[in-house]
Structure 1
Amino acid sequence: MNDGYSGYSADTDGGEGGGDLIAYLPSILWQRRWWIIVPIVLCTIVGVAAAVLLPARYRSSATLLVESPELPAQLVGQQQNTSLIDQRIAKIRQQVLSRPDLIELIENNNLYPEERGSKPLSEVIDKMRKATNLSPVSADIQTGPGGTNTIAFSLTFDYSDPQKAQIVAQDFVERLVKLDATQTAQAATGTVEFLQDQANGLLGQINAIERQIEAIKAENGMALSTGGMMMLGGGGGGGYQAQIAALQRENAQLQAQLKLQASATDRDPAVQAAEAQLAAAQAVYSDTHPDVLAARQRLAEARKFAAVNVAKANTGSAIRSQIASNAAAISSLQAALSNDSARTAALANAQARAPAVNEQIAQLQAKAEGLRTNYQTVQTNLINARGSARISEQQRGERLSVIDPPVAPDKPTWPNRPLLALGGIVAGAALGLGIALVLEFIMRPIRGVGSLQAVTGEPPMVIIPQIAGRRPVQETDGDDDRDATNAKRRWFRRRKRTADPAVAAG
């Protein structure tokens, strides 16, 4: 058995659990001390070398604040910025850390000269991007009576030269402020233009719908005018027909008068008497008889005399003129009756189409009313946007300002030299302890009664204690077991010599 463990009894060494390992841990550490000391020394040397040899990195930082508008939002109609701070920072970072801007900064300030000579430009730009950081400020700043949160964030740049770190950080800050002012003005102007176009579009739609409604009303006037419908329906065509019938009766009477006037000569009494005498003479005598000839002569003279009398009292031209006038009136009345019938039919057709026309007009009016509501909303937003644009032009709206400008740092932020040295010591100790424990589990030396019993399968007969203080034992990793065995043999010899006189005396 190894020395250092003989003092434990069988009860103490009854198992090889975690408690035994902890009990033997001081001896393990002592026996494996060089496996622990060497890693500690080596790692300490590495940590100190890293702390001394690693190049210093300086950080120049600035704090920027997005100030709230000077005027209340109720006066200018400006909406509060509700965008998330992470989104705004990501947008600013993307704009500021663009490739052309970084190339310009690298060339103007002669940054990364060694990397530019040995690495591609894209890797140098990526390194500068990693050295630049935009992060939100942890605490919100309450401003204004309303207690609105103000966005604030910090900008940092890490570089080996503190002066150049401050110059580059200052350049970043100036670019940020200028870019924010430009974008704010452009955004306000763009909003005004967008709302103006939207308002013009809505107004054009409203005017188009109103013209469409007017066209429908003009096309379907009779369908929409119930008063005219009632008036036309009440007049009807009966009056025209009665007038036409009266004129036709009057013309019939006038025609009869013309016929009577045409036969007025034959109806003259002298003519009728001469005709009677002629008929009586012809009944008695022949046609050549002097009495018959005389009767015919008298009839001819009577007719001539009657014709002269009729001509003197002629009214036929007046009757014919009246008949023509009545005929013209009848034609006019018939045309009016025909027009009235056509108008009545059209009115009936329009009356049948009136519900559909009214429904179409109602739909168009509802659509126009909705567009008018949207137009009023857009007009209100347009007024607010114009107010915001004026405030942006006057630099009185939401703007970016620097509350903590970048300065040249006095101390490097990396590396942390004490931490590196301490880390080397801790890492060496952990490595050495790990090596010692690994060797212990690999070699599995016999430490105590439990280990021996686990190997032999039988409990030991005796436990030989180690007598300390006889001589200093020079221990090495390879001679531990041999020295322990020699010491036990010497102890047995001394024990035997002291026991022999007692046996002889017995």
Structure 2
Amino acid sequence: MQEVFDEIRSALHTVWNRRWLALGVAWAVCVVGWLMVALIPNSYESRARIYVELDDVLSKQLDISGEGQQAITKVRQTLTSSVNLEKVVRSTRLGEKVDTQREMQNAIEDLTRKVEIKSTQDNLFELTATIGNSNLTDAENSALSQDVVQKLIDIFREENVAGNRGQVADTIVFLDQQLDDRKKELEAAEQRRLSFEAQHPDLIGGTGTVTNRLQSMRDEMRGVDADIAAAQSALAAINGQIASTPRTIVMPGESGGARGALAQAQAQLSAMRARGLTDSHPDIQAQKRQVAALREQAADEPSGAGGSPNPAYTSLVSIRAERQANVQALQARKAALQSDMSGLMATQADEPAVAAEANRISRDYEVLKEKYDELLNNREEMRLRGQVETERSAFQFEVIDPPTAPTRPAAPNRPLLLVGVLLAGLGIGAGAAFVMGQLKSSFTTADKLERVMDLPVIGTVSRVVTAQARQFEKSRMKKFYAASGALAGVCLLLLVVEMIQVGSVA
């Protein structure tokens, strides 16, 4: 640790022995540095804040409320484009000496670095322009920065309020032209379709429609088959009821005769069989013998000896006739469906080229019609949107803080630079003196001599200064202090001048 202190003391001694060199270098560096700082033009910053209102009940009702947010995003991304910045250059003093396209491009690139647009909130924007041209005075730079921000606000308003309406009008005109073209194409497709359908009525709508028709017929065929099965089952049931119902009945007080008794016996026999009794059952066998006996008696009985007609039997016969007609109608419908299906399948199989043409015509027509309907809806929506934006714009624009007229430069920080140049000059001067001391083979302390030579140092001899030399040294020290104080005084004077100049801009 002691060696470190010795080295520091040695370095300070080296610099102090060459203090005039350090002071001269410091003066040279400070003068050059202060001149460079003086040549840096002042830059003035103008700010403005704008607020954009997006909430609009009518726009939300019409489902166009998202357009305002999209417009803000678009402007935020494109406001600093080359086209907009060129408008700013041409409308301000920035374009006074711009004659060629190359100069305009350089002016746009320079302005791009000086303009900043940032969003502090969702709908609050801050515009900033920092201008510092060396060929303009401070007052002119201050006014120019304010003009640049004002022009940016004008472009913002134009792009979002007036620009949107112009875009809507242009879009409606474009959609009208597209609708006219699509209308002509659709009419031509309709004529081709009508002509083809007149020649091939079975292929109306293309093979896709034919396939749908076949599928529909198959579904209907399955329904008809189910109806036929149900109708046949109902017919069989009514036949069973008719078989168990006598044609005549014997009224009280009337003699039914053998035929009446035979009918009743046969009805009883049928009822027994309906209950599930077999022919080997004793009751069935006894009833059969009774029926056979009554049948012999009925054969010998004269005609007209029976009872009255049975109304239930007559009603069942009429129901059977109705159900037989229903079964026949369903079978006829099934036969017709089978014939139509066979015809459609034969058409598909026999004329594949015609079927392909039908598909193409139908597909082209549907595509054109869908596109026409879509364009028509878009035009109506755009027209309604244009009316909403004209009568009541959802984009409400308001300047909260107008562009400020700066009275103090935003850059550079001259006081800091002036002091920094002074400190840099002193540091560079001290460094130069130290380097020069290191280039000469002298030793400032006995310990350093002992370490370098690796020999013991017996002692040191102090410097003997005469009175005349001491007087001369004091005179030189006064001059050194005066020169050092003058350096600090010049720096202080420059700081005072800078403050006065800054205060005079307003």
The TM-score normalised by the length of structure 2 is: 0.49
